[in-house]
Structures are given as structure tokens and as C-alpha cells.
Amino acid sequence: MNMAQQQARMMTSTGPVTIPTTIPPVDRDKIYQWIIQLTSPDTRENALQELSKKREVVPDLAPMLWHSFGTVAALLQEIVNIYPTINPPHLTAHQSNRVCNALALLQCVASHPETRSAFLQAHIPLFLYPFLHTVSKTRPFEYLRLTSLGVIGALVKTDEQEVINFLLTTEIIPLGLRIMESGSELSKTVATFILQKILLDETGLSYICQTYERFSHVAMILGKMVLHLSKEPSARLLKHVVRCYLRLSDNPRAREALRQCLPDQLKDSTFANCLKDDNSTKRWLMQLQQNLEAPGVPDPRSMPLHQQ
């Protein structure tokens, strides 16, 4: 399992995460040395590799990276240097591994409470969006997309309003929906997790349900995923899909629409075997079905002010 896969599984996991009781000692002088080496093209590749290995055991690595001279510029240079390999697609495994080490350090900055806000204000996530636009199925591109999604996933995992407000001003929803439709299982899982987190925010739910076009696009992709999951089950991915549907059912207009378009596979026993050991998802699915069975109560906000 590579670095991006480990991060994705930890990010979307709802179970307990095992934290080692003993953390190996870190030579802080070496950390400082590697950070300095990031600013030199000749020493940057090794420094990227070493620092990405240490990001879990150096709690203040994010502030160190953010506030050190030239470091963030060097990380962004690594990202921009890859753009020419995107179209036409000719990204090599070596290039992918190198830029993913840079992305791992940016994820570290995105995750830290002291640097997250500045990270957003600098609009750094936008530098990753060209990677999410790629469609090549080769492993280097899949690794690149998954690691880029990991940075966005680290942002939404904090459940902060500032993060959702920022993302709603960008194209993350259509980009995520495309990956949910055609990505690898792990990329689909992280992309669906990001959508779930956006929906769980009141502003995010209102945004997606504000127009028929936005809601129908989300509902169409979720429906396609359910159909695919009925043929190739994945309990982890299904969990996030069901949670998205359940959250959509909290909106009165979306609830009415879901009564018409909820896939039959979520109404019958198609996924009974897949969910036999997943009590939380079974509860969500039952709650979804109950929400859609209940008689519709008009929402005053969606009713016309004057009778025609």
C-alpha cells in the first residue's frame, strides 16, 4: 500500500485509529536541514522524500514549513513543474512520486490548525485542481489524483465553515463528481467523502439543493455509483454514498425528488450481505428509507409567497 492509499484509508475511516504509543526520536537539526534543502533544486528531491516520511512524527512540521523562507514557493514549483506532463499525458512514475511527496507536505500544512486558514487564503488548493482534471488511468496519474484529493480531504475533515465557504467558490464539486463516476475505488471513496462533508454543512447542503441542475447532477452520479456497487460491492464506498443520500433527504425539496429517483437497490435487500457487519450504515439506510416514506410536509421557504 503506497502513501496516498494509506492516507485515503485513514481519512475516510470512521473506526478507531491506532496511534503508536512510542514515537521514534526525531533529529530536529535534520528536519531544519531538510527544510533548508527544499529551496535548492539540487537537494530538493531527497528533502521532499525525507520530510514526507516524518510528517506524522513532527507535530509542528506544518508551521515550520509555512513560516520558513521560500519553502511553500518551492513546493508550488514542484506542482507547476508537472503541468506540462498533463496534456498530453506523459507523467512518469518517478515524476508522480516526487510531486506526491510535495503534495503530502501541503496536506500536512492543510491539516494543521495554525496554518490551515493561511493555506486557504493563499488559494493553494487551486494549484491542485489541474491534477483533478486529468482522466488518464495509468498508475502515476491515479496516484497523483488520489494524493491531491487527500489534501482536499484533509481540509474538509476539520468541519470548519471557512473550508466549506472556500470550496464552494471553486469547481471542487463537479471535479469530485467526475472522479466519483470514473475513478478507482479509493479515489471514488475520497471524492465521495469530500462531497459528504460538504453536504453535512448547512451552507453546502443549501448550495447543492439551490438549483435543480446542481441537485440532479449529484443525484445522477450517486445513482450510477449505486448501480456499479450492486455489481462490485464495496462497503467502505457504499457507506459514504448512503450518508450523502441521507443528508440530501434533510432538504425538503431534495427529499421530494429522492422519492422519485432513489435507486431501487437502496430500497430492497441488494446490499444486505455487503452491510451485514456495518451497523452504522444499516441505520443510515433505514433512516433514509423512513425519511422518504414519511408524508411530505411543505417547507415554508420553498412555498410561493402569493397564490397564483
User: What domain range is 251 assigned to?
Assistant: 162-294
| In a shared domain, residues 190 and 145 | no
**Same-domain pairing of 73 and 195:** no
Residue 85 lies in a domain: yes
Domain end (from 139, 158, 177):
158
Predicted TM-score (pTM) of the model is 0.88
Q: What is the pLDDT of residue 26?
A: 74
Quick: pLDDT tens for 159-217: 999 999 999 999 999 999 999 999 999 999 999 999 999 999 999 999 999 999 999 99
- Please check the confidence at residue 1 and state whether its pLDDT lies above 70: no
Same domain, residue pair 140 and 248: no
Residue-wise pLDDT tens digits, 118-163: 999 999 999 999 999 999 999 999 999 999 999 999 999 999 999 9
Same domain for 192 and 70, yes or no, is no
Residue 5 lies in a domain: no
CATH number at residue 49: 1.25.10.10
Do 36 and 120 reside in the same domain of the chain? Answer: yes
The domain total for the chain is 2
Is the pLDDT score of 250 beyond 80?
yes
- Decide which of 158, 182, 213 is a domain's last residue: 158
* Shared domain check, 223 and 284: yes
| Structure-block grid coordinates of residue 293 | 416514506
Residue ending a domain, choose from 105, 127, 158: 158
Asked if residue 65 belongs to a domain, the reply is: yes
Is 42 inside a domain boundary? yes
Mean pLDDT of the chain: 90
Is the pLDDT confidence value at 13 over 80?
no
Considering the domain architecture, whether residues 235 and 135 belong to the same structural domain is answered as no
